[in-house]
Amino acid sequence: MLAGLEHAQAAAVVEATLANLRMRYRYVPEVRFGGAALFFDATGTPAAQSGAAAWAPYVTGRVEEFAVDCEPARMTEAEPLRAIGRILARRLRPARI
C-alpha cells in the first residue's frame, strides 16, 4: 500500500501510525462506564484475552461476552449482524413497556 508513495510520504505515514499506537497504549479512561455491557467477540481470530476481560477495567458492572462466528473485519456483514441482532432483541425485549 505504501509502495506508491514517495519516501517522505511513506515515512510520514509510518510516523503517524507509530504516534497513534503510542497514544493508544498510554491512554487510560478517567471515567468508567457505570453499568453492564455486552461484548460481541469475533471468534475467527484468536485473542490474547477475552473481550470481557479486556473491557472489565472500564465498566463498573458485568461484561457479558457473546461469540460471533466470523473474522473481526466481517462483523458488519449480514450473517454476523443477524446473530448480534437476535441476541440484542432477546436482551431488550424485557425493557419494552
pLDDT one-digit tens code per residue, 7-38: 999 999 999 999 999 998 888 878 889 999 99
d(CA 68, CA 42): 5
Q: Calculate mean pLDDT across residues 42-66.
A: 88
Helices (H), 27-77: 51-55
Are 66 and 41 contacting, i.e. CB atoms less than 8 angstroms apart? yes
Q: Which residue has the higher pLDDT, 88 or 44?
A: 88
Q: Which residue has the higher pLDDT, 10 or 45?
A: 10
Are 37 and 51 contacting, i.e. CB atoms less than 8 angstroms apart? no
User: In terms of Cα–Cα distance, which of 70, 66, 63, 65 is closest to 43?
Assistant: 70
Q: Is the pLDDT of residue 97 over 70?
A: no
pLDDT of residue 77: 97
Q: Calculate mean pLDDT across residues 75-80.
A: 96
d(CA 47, CA 67): 12
